[in-house]
Structure 1
Amino acid sequence: MALRATIYKANLHVANQDLHHYASHAVVLAKHPSETTERMMVRLVAFALNASEDLVFTKGLSEVDEPDLWLKDLTGSIQLWIDVGQPDERRILKACGRANQVKVYCYARQVAKLWWEPIANKLGRARNLTIIALPSEQTKALDALVASSMDINVNVQDGQILVSSNKGDVTIDPVFLRPES
Structure 2
Amino acid sequence: MALKSTIFKVELQLADLDRSHFGEYALTIARHPSENDQRMMVRLLAFALFASESLAFGRGLSSEDEADLADVDLTGVIERWIDVGLPDERNIRRACGRAKEVVVLAYGGRAAEIWWQQTAGKVAGQKNLRVLALPPAESQALAALAARNMRLQCTIQDGVVWLGGDDQHVELAPKVLFGPEAA
Identity %: 46
Give the CA deviation at 1:154.
1.1
Aligned twin of 2:35: 35
Which sits farther off after the overlay, 85-94 or 167-176? 167-176
Map Cα deviations across residues 41-68 of structure 1 (whole Å, 9 max, x no partner).
Answer: 0000100000001000010211111010
Q: Which whole-Å CA distance do the structure 2 matches of 1:28 and 1:167 have between them?
A: 21
The alignment's C-alpha RMSD in Å is 1.1
Superposition TM-score, scaled by structure 1 size:
0.97
SS at match of 2:48: helix
Residues 1:83 and 2:92 are matched in the alignment: no
Give the alignment of 1:21-100 within 5 angstroms. 21-100=21-100
Runs of 4+ aligned residues of structure 1 deviating over 6 Å after TM superposition are none
Stretches of structure 2 that go unaligned for 5 or more consecutive residues are: none
Which sits farther off after the overlay, 83-92 or 148-157? 148-157
Map Cα deviations across residues 97-146 of structure 1 (whole Å, 9 max, x no partner).
Answer: 00000000012243222111122111111100000000111111122211
Q: Which whole-Å CA distance do the structure 1 matches of 2:3 and 2:67 have between them?
A: 21
Which sits farther off after the overlay, 118-127 or 92-101? 118-127
Kept after mapping to 2: 8 A contact 1:145/1:167: no
Aligned AA for 2:82?
A: I
Q: Which whole-Å CA distance do the structure 1 matches of 2:14 and 2:109 have between them?
A: 24
Residues 1:162 and 2:162 are matched in the alignment: yes
Q: Which whole-Å CA distance do the structure 2 matches of 1:16 and 1:109 have between them?
A: 26
Aligned AA for 1:140?
A: Q
Map Cα deviations across residues 147-171 of structure 1 (whole Å, 9 max, x no partner).
Answer: 1111011111111111111220011
Stretches of structure 1 that go unaligned for 5 or more consecutive residues are: none
Aligned twin of 2:106: 106
Aligned twin of 2:10: 10
Q: How many residues get paired?
A: 181
